[in-house]
Amino acid sequence: MNNIPLFTRKFLLGSALLLAACAANAASELSSASTCPRVLQHTVARLQDEKPQNLCQYAGQVVVVVNTASFCGFTPQYKGLEALYAKYKDQGLVVLGFPSNDFSQEPDSNAKIADFCENTFGVKFPMFVKTTVRGNDALPLFKQLSEQTGTSPKWNFYKYVIGRDGKSVKSFSSMTGPQDKSFVQEVEKQLAVKGMAQ
C-alpha cells in the first residue's frame, strides 16, 4: 500500500466510501419497500397542487380507496366519507379519494374538483388528481385492487378497504354508503388488527 502514490490512495479511499454510502442507501430503500405493502407502492399526484405523493406513507394504516365524481347521485357520500375519516383517523384510518370521469360525471379540471370538494363537503381526507380507474388505462393502484378483489369499480364511489398489512382487501359497491353497517364493521375490524406498526 505504501508503494501506491498518495493521490491514488485518496482516490481509492474516496471510491470505497462512496460505494459504502450507495450500498447503505440501497439497503435503506429496500428496507422501506419491504415494510410497504405492494398495493401501496405507487406514486400519485395530489389534487390540490399536483405534487407526487408516495402512497407508502400510508403503510400500516387501514386505507379506504374510493373513486369519486362531482356530478353523481352518490356525490353526497363525500360527507359520509369525511365523517368516517374524522371519526377514525386517530385510530389509523385514512380515506384516499380518486376523482374519475370513467362514468362521465367528473368533467371538471383538478382545480375545480379541489374547490368543489373543499367548499361543498369540507373534504379534508387526501384527494388525488383525476384518473382512470378501470380498463387497460386504469391507475396501477386500481388494477391491483381489481386483481385482489376480482372486481373493478362498477360506478362512482366504489370502495376498497385495505387492511394494515396490505393483503386484506375488501370491495364495496357504490350502493354501500360510508355509514352502512357492513362497511363500518369492516373498517372497525381492520382497525382492530395491530399487526403492523402505525
Instruction: Verify whether residue 72 is a known catalytic residue.
Output: yes
How buried is residue 65: exposed, middle or buried, by Cβ count under 10 Å (0-12/13-18/19+)? buried
Report the candidate in 97, 102, 32, 60 with the shortest Cα–Cα distance to residue 190.
Answer: 60
Which strands make up the sheet holding 93-99, listed edge to edge? 93-99, 62-68, 159-162, 169-172
Instruction: State how far the Cα of 34 lies from the Cα of 181, in Å rounded to an integer.
Output: 34
Residue 145 Ramachandran class (φ > 0 left, ψ -120 to 50 alpha, else beta) = alpha
Q: 3-class DSSP state for residue 8?
A: helix
Strand partners of residue 172? 159
DSSP 8-state assignment for residue 156: T
Active-site residue identified among 22, 56, 72, 117: 72
Question: What residues act catalytically?
Answer: 72
